[in-house]
Each structure stands twice: as structure tokens, then as C-alpha cells.
Amino acid sequence: MKTTDAEALKALVKEKYTEVALQSKGENETSCCGVGGSCGTDYTIFSENYDQLKGYHADADLGLGCGLPTEFAQIKVGDTVVDLGSGAGNDCFIARAMVGETGKVIGVDMTEAMIAKAKLNAEKLGFKNVDFRLGDIEDLPMAANKADVVVSNCVMNLVPDKDKAFKEVYRVLKPGGHFSISDVVLKGALPEGIVKEAEMYAGCVSGALEMKDYLDRIAAIGFKNISIQKEKSIVIPDAILLNYLSVEELAQYKASAHGIYSITVYADKPNSTCCTPGTGCC
């Protein structure tokens, strides 16, 4: 991907998620993964139900996730947890309930409006050990070897340089730390009409990798014990897909073995002092 293409995609995502930050959860859930035109009143396609989890605060839930990474992240009291693409703070506040008063949660988001909303939510709740930072997932605003756990919810697929983003996850994790990341992946290729449509990129679909490629990239960076903690098929209604495909293309797509999936992936950073694989220092 050319640098100019990557910058354009980041600008698109930032623009769309600025809009999302100013919408209600109901508006986000009835649009394509939170952005774009209305998809109908009953199309909550990706998001999961958080309201039974300890630490849940409705004001921080914009209905944007595609999984429940904190539920699987094996977070312990006293941990330092980093949430990538933290939005209004939903997963951060769930994580805070797990780390307790002795732990720390750091949320990183590249959208100023999201950071402002998250900080306001934390202030209203009186949380002193949750820190929200404006920053790029490809260049995280924190030092190396600081996090016990990294979580992320339906964000990595929006990052143009996923290899660089996962290298950053590796860098900030402590040796022996781990991540639990929910994301959108593909089995087979998406139709060309969807891939080319920018709205669907910002809507969590066209930026997704094929599942094997996604997992192979994680392994190549040096993560170990990679496993899929949860997998769910995502069914996008015909009314949405027909915005990007002809009737004939839609029929061909539905007849194929290809599909869109939400997965939650777990992986460990090896418990050693060796630096990031591939840098020549080990």
C-alpha cells in the first residue's frame, strides 16, 4: 500500500469515527458498523452485548465492537492493560473493574473526539487509574515492555499497516505478556465491489485480511501460543450489500464458500529479553 493511500484511509477512518463519537449508540448500531448510511433499524451486525459485564457503563458503549476481548483476556488484579482504539472507553472501563485500584488501564485512540468523550466519561465516574492517550496504533505513545495485557475490539482491521501495528503490540507488551484482540477477518476473498468501496472500509469490512494471513502475520512477528478464543460468522443483510454489488454479484457471493467472521485471537509475547524478531539484534 502506498503511503498516500494509507494516509487517505486513516483520514477516512478518523473522519467517520469523529462522526460516530457524536452519535448515540442507537444511531451507531443502525448504521454500517457505526458509520455510513442507515442500514435499517434491526441491523446490529457486529456488536456484542456488554451490559452483563462488571464495569460496564452505558455512556461509554457506542455499539462499535465485534467481540468481547476483555472477557477472554485473562486480566488480573494489578495488571497494566492497554486498549487499542479505545473509543469512548467501553473496554477500558470493563478492564478497570478487573485490574482493580492497584492496576492501570491505558486507552489509545487516534480520534480527538473519541479521546474527549472517553476522558469525560472517566471524569464523571471518578476513575483515576484510566488514562486516555491520543495516538496512532502503528506508533503507540508509550514505552516498551509496559503492558501485561493488550486488548482491542474491531480496530486492527482498520489499520493500513497491520504488520507495523502488531509489532507495536509486541513492543509495548512485557516479556510473558499477552493480547486478546477481537477483529473482523475473511474466509476467501470479498467481491471487488465491496473492496473498492471506501465506506465499507471505514465500516469494518474491506480492511479485513483473510484469516490465515492474519494469523500468519501474528506468528511472523514472534508471538507464541496463538489461538482463536471465539469465532462468529457475520451475516451482512442484502440491503447493505446491494449498495456495493449488483443483484448478480450478490447471488454469486452468497453461493460461494466465502464469508466474513468476527474472531477473538489470543497470543503470548515470549518470556525473554530478546528484542522484536526480524530486527537483527537477537
Enumerate residues 6+ apart whose C-beta is below 8 A from 150.
81, 82, 83, 84, 169, 172, 173, 177, 178, 179, 180, 181
Tell me the CA distances in angstroms from 46 to 73, 184, 213, 223, 263, one per residue in order: 19, 9, 21, 27, 11
Q: Give the HSE-up count for residue 21: Cα atoms under 13 Å, Cβ half-sphere.
A: 24
SS3 state of residue 220: helix
The per-residue pLDDT for 131 is 97
Nearest 5°: the CA angle 25, 30, 31 is 100
CA distance 25 to 27: 5
pLDDT in tens, 159-207: 889 999 999 999 999 999 999 999 989 998 888 887 777 666 666 676 7
Tell me which amino acid residue 61 is.
Answer: D
- What pLDDT shows up at residue 150? 98
73 burial type by CB count under 10 A (0-12 exposed, 13-18 middle, 19+ buried): buried
Domains of the chain: 3-268 (3.40.50.150)
| pLDDT tens-digit series, residues 93-127 | 999 999 999 999 999 999 999 999 999 999 999 99
Tens digits of pLDDT across the chain (282 residues): 444 577 877 777 777 777 776 665 555 554 444 444 444 323 345 667 777 788 888 888 877 778 899 999 999 999 999 999 999 999 999 999 999 999 999 999 999 999 999 999 999 999 999 999 999 999 999 999 999 999 999 889 888 899 999 999 999 999 999 999 999 899 988 888 877 776 666 666 767 899 999 999 999 999 999 999 999 988 888 888 888 889 999 999 888 878 888 999 999 999 975 555 554 444
Q: Please provide the average confidence, as pLDDT, over all residues in the chain.
A: 84
Predicted local distance difference test score (pLDDT) of residue 202: 60
Distance between CA 26 and CA 43 in Å, rounded?
A: 11
Neighbouring-strand partners of residue 266: 180, 227
Q: How many CB atoms lie within 10 A of CB 269?
A: 25
How many residues are there in the chain? 282
- Rounded (10°) angle between helices 112-125 and 90-99: 40
